[in-house]
Structure 1
Amino acid sequence: MNERWSFRALLVTAATACLLAAGQHPAHAEDDPGVPSGLQHGIDSVVPAPALPPGPPVDGLTPEQAALLRAVQSPPTGDPFFDARPAGLAALNPGDILEQRDVTATATLVVGVPIARATLLKYRSTAANGAPSFGTATLVVPLTPWAAGDRPVLVDNQPINSLGARCTPGYAMAHGPAFKNFATDSVPPTAAWGLNQGFAVLVTDHEGPNMAYAEPNVAAHVILDGIRAVRSTPGFGASRFALGGYSGGAIASHGAAMLLGEYAPELADAVAGAAMGGLVTDNRVIANRFDGNFASGVLLAVVLAYSREHPEILDRMNHLATWVATSPLNAVCGQAIGFLGVVGIPLDVAANVTDALDSAVAEEIFARTDLTDRTSRVPLYIYHGAHDLWIPFEGARELYQRQCARGVDAVFRSEPGEHVVALATGFPGAAEWLGARLRGEPAPTEC
């Protein structure tokens, strides 16, 4: 973080603190949504908008909006495999492989078990708005032979929960353990467990090239196109796939299961099931629950991440928000995001309208990311901490009941403990269920 930005950040923080201390609090629900509150007027009056360099035009955006969209992106990693957007994507089919790299030496150190090979894949995918994009994922193959047909593949959707492009499991696989995103990619050791069972493991960078944390459409596309890419490689054309994920990784697995029928219907017979734990099922409920409390850092990070795929959010940021969103904070990894909420900053402090979560833009984003009307095309294993302080238990149970009513084979497990504890207590059951699906055993149902 350079000295110039640090000084600006200090001024912004001090000004905001003074306004809050003066009693100019965000307007309440009875005020007119869409009209800035006194606090918001105060912030923009003392905090100037950041000066952003001009750049090439972006369809549908003004030059100012395009400059801000570029500035809120995670800085490049320095590795063209992750940074470079290939030309001619529109002419390719989703899942077409663009590039691949052998990363066996570094990936071995990351997964922690001996492997035969690891291949980093870059392939054509689709952005949240349907525009051509790309995705990355790492295919890891164990030393253990697989005698009966093509080797099954466990799709490991880790809780990346990050804003920075260097925070992905793919970047760690390519560059070594120093870039591992805290412990969320190894506790529990999902990839190591799968490899020890003889399964190949596909570790996805499901936030996509724009690091759109928790955006389910992007995650679904990257995962399903990653499966398409693997199926085009020798030895995996007839493989079974099963998806696993917890928390942020569960959002990704859930999105892939729900969108498979419309985005990749040819994979319905190849994907044997999806396991998901600690899942957010209603973004509106979670946003209001996180706003202004100990989880506010997560909410603010998600809003920034969503703006990278839904740039209409940018028009609702005030000057304070644009300074923060274009600062080095837009590259933080998951272990730092939670700590950003310790002061309980409400979203309205970053917005230029009152009741930002009730605004027309928020309604539109909630609608675009709501998958409750979708039906899974694959069997489901859903588990949740009975005392989860972050994500309501009722949402997971309602998902199970809703999918059962639509004829989906599903299992639901209430796990002891809160969100982090349930990650550990729920893993053995989820792993057992995933292993059975990959071995071709029929999926049970408790509907």
Structure 2
Amino acid sequence: MPASTRLLAAAVTAAACLGAQAVPAAAAEPVVSRGVRIPEFYTPPATLPAQNGALVRSEPLPLALSLPGLDGPLPGRATRLMYRSTDAAGRPVAVTGAYLEPAAAWRSGGPRPLVAVAPGTMGQGDQCAASLGLQHPLRITARTVSVGYENLAVYRLLARGIAVVITDYGGLGTTDRLHTYVNRVDEAHAVLDAVRAARSLRGASVTAASPVGLFGYSQGGGATAAAAELQPSYAPDVTLAGTYSGAPPADLAAVTEAIDGSDLAGALGWSVNGFLQSEPALGEVAERHLNTAGKAALADLSTMCVGDALLAYNSARSTAWTTDGRTIGEVVRDEPALRAFLEEQRIGTMKPSGPVRVATGVNDDLVPHDQSRELAVAWCAKGADVTYKPVVLPDLGRSLINHFTPLLADQGGAISWLTDRLRGEPAPSACAALPSQP
């Protein structure tokens, strides 16, 4: 499907009911998103397997950053995956991702562990998928800019002999629907089912006996936090040795207020698009409150990656998108259906499975530090084993930098903490000291 056709379809849908529903690809036509042709692999079949986590298909995935080694490519071999998951409404969905078999040996005894990496914000266009980022870590064209920034964490884990599976989440990459951005249930299911898919992949060294860890920052931190909460009910076969949740957007109402007018204001459009994909009944509310400019922005953002949004919507304010000049946050506060939907997305209402490490930059004003810390406090109150790490860095005065810098500054510590959990070392809870920490 040409990019212009897909964008027009999204715009028409937005104008009608703001459902932001992606248009299924025609069987004979390639899907093209902002000038990037999406491989046919990413178009789901008409029917899916019955079991969550079951593989739909797989194929070798060429890594852009790879070196020849005596026993195979370094840092390892990659396989592109499509597997079955379930969305928040209980519907079967196809999800893509990648499994990476490390060339390095696991030297800490026992079976090789597996870490499921939940990517941070990539965007909403299919060309933004993290699995495509492993193949094309930097893609710059006339119409899109995508960066596979999660590759650094993936390669650091591989260097320790840890196998990695990375999910693209529902609707990101797969061409049949729109990415349900920051939907906690959809993302948690996609993360947990990625573990199941990796275990069933022929030739993978991980098995059901392999220790499992979760790793994610920002959108990924919310996904891993939600996965740790939902694991006992959704995936009791996936025992978690440890979960790293960096800068988790646990309270979407607070995050909605914070990102409005920020460097990454485009994420507000992805959020609204995702809400409407998850709950089409909210389309009537959106139709009443969004003006022509708002509807056009949502349609435009539905095919964008982070780089595109930084260039096109940096510092955009949602007051320009609404019929009465109120912010999206104010609309949410005044609309019971929207308030209820966002409250359902709150993370911290359930005890997470296994030890968790919550890290957040104290100057993060994109995913506000306070709401991430409150997640750790809420988990402690439920008896969870929580390590809380406030990342203290200078206030650099720009929201995206204050949000992104802690990812890099704390990544080594996060990987070391998770590696210790995969080795079976206990994680003493820091809950007793948490209320007094900044």
Residue number among 172, 188, 192 corresponding to 2:155 in the alignment:
192
* Secondary structure of the structure 2 residue equivalent to 1:422: helix
Q: 1:369-380 to 2 correspondence within 5 Å?
A: 369-380=345-356
Cα gap change, 1:154/1:4 in structure 2, threshold over 3 Å: closer, same or farther? closer
In the aligned structure 2, how far is the partner of 1:125 from the partner of 1:440?
29
| CA-to-aligned-CA distance 1:319-348 (integer Å, 9 cap, x gap) | 333333334x42111123244443532257
Q: In 1, are the aligned partners of 2:254 and 2:371 still within 8 Å (CA)? A: no
| CA-to-aligned-CA distance 1:250-283 (integer Å, 9 cap, x gap) | 111112111112211221x3x2111111221211
Cα gap change, 1:178/1:3 in structure 2, threshold over 3 Å: closer, same or farther? closer
Residue equivalent to 1:280: 249
Identity of aligned residues (%): 25
C-alpha deviation, 1:377, in angstroms: 1.0
Cα gap change, 1:441/1:357 in structure 2, threshold over 3 Å: closer, same or farther? same
Q: Which amino acid aligns with 1:144?
A: A
Residue number among 421, 426, 435 corresponding to 1:442 in the alignment:
426
In the aligned structure 2, how far is the partner of 1:181 from the partner of 1:105?
16
C-alpha deviation, 1:167, in angstroms: 0.7
| CA-to-aligned-CA distance 1:111-169 (integer Å, 9 cap, x gap) | xx813421111111012221110111211111123474431112222213301111112
* Secondary structure of the structure 2 residue equivalent to 1:206: strand
C-alpha deviation, 1:246, in angstroms: 1.2
* Secondary structure of the structure 1 residue equivalent to 2:95: strand
What residue ranges of structure 1 are gaps of 5+ in the alignment? 10-48, 54-63
Residue equivalent to 1:217: 185
Residue number among 37, 46, 55 corresponding to 1:87 in the alignment:
46
* Secondary structure of the structure 1 residue equivalent to 2:44: coil
Q: In 2, are the aligned partners of 1:164 and 1:330 still within 8 Å (CA)? A: yes
In the aligned structure 2, how far is the partner of 1:278 from the partner of 1:123?
27
What residue ranges of structure 2 are gaps of 5+ in the alignment? 26-30, 68-72, 394-401, 432-438
What TM-score does the superposition give when structure 1 sets the normalisation length?
Answer: 0.77
Q: In 1, are the aligned partners of 2:78 and 2:98 still within 8 Å (CA)? A: yes
Q: In 2, are the aligned partners of 1:160 and 1:169 still within 8 Å (CA)? A: no
C-alpha deviation, 1:373, in angstroms: 1.4
| CA-to-aligned-CA distance 1:76-132 (integer Å, 9 cap, x gap) | 6532221x222333x5110011101011454738xxx81342111111101222111
Residue equivalent to 1:129: 89
C-alpha deviation, 1:67, in angstroms: 8.3
Larger radius of gyration: 1
Larger CA deviation: 213-222 vs 170-179: 170-179
Q: In 2, are the aligned partners of 1:158 and 1:248 still within 8 Å (CA)? A: yes
* Secondary structure of the structure 1 residue equivalent to 2:387: strand
The alignment yields a C-alpha RMSD, in angstroms, of 3.4
Q: 1:241-280 to 2 correspondence within 5 Å?
A: 241-267=212-238, 269=239, 271-280=240-249
Larger CA deviation: 222-231 vs 172-181: 172-181
Tell me, yes or no, if structure 1 residue 206 matches structure 2 residue 169.
yes
In the aligned structure 2, how far is the partner of 1:3 from the partner of 1:407?
50
Residue equivalent to 1:431: 415
Q: Which amino acid aligns with 1:129?
A: A
In the aligned structure 2, how far is the partner of 1:200 from the partner of 1:172?
18
Residue equivalent to 2:366: 390
Q: 1:90-169 to 2 correspondence within 5 Å?
A: 92-104=50-62, 106=64, 108=66, 114-146=74-106, 148-169=109-130
* Secondary structure of the structure 2 residue equivalent to 1:137: strand
Q: In 2, are the aligned partners of 1:160 and 1:167 still within 8 Å (CA)? A: no
C-alpha deviation, 1:293, in angstroms: 5.3
Residue number among 175, 179, 182 corresponding to 2:147 in the alignment:
182
Cα gap change, 1:334/1:342 in structure 2, threshold over 3 Å: closer, same or farther? closer
C-alpha deviation, 1:72, in angstroms: 11
Aligned residues: 386
Larger CA deviation: 73-82 vs 163-172: 73-82
* Secondary structure of the structure 1 residue equivalent to 2:210: coil
In the aligned structure 1, how far is the partner of 2:255 from the partner of 2:138?
32
Cα gap change, 1:86/1:351 in structure 2, threshold over 3 Å: closer, same or farther? farther
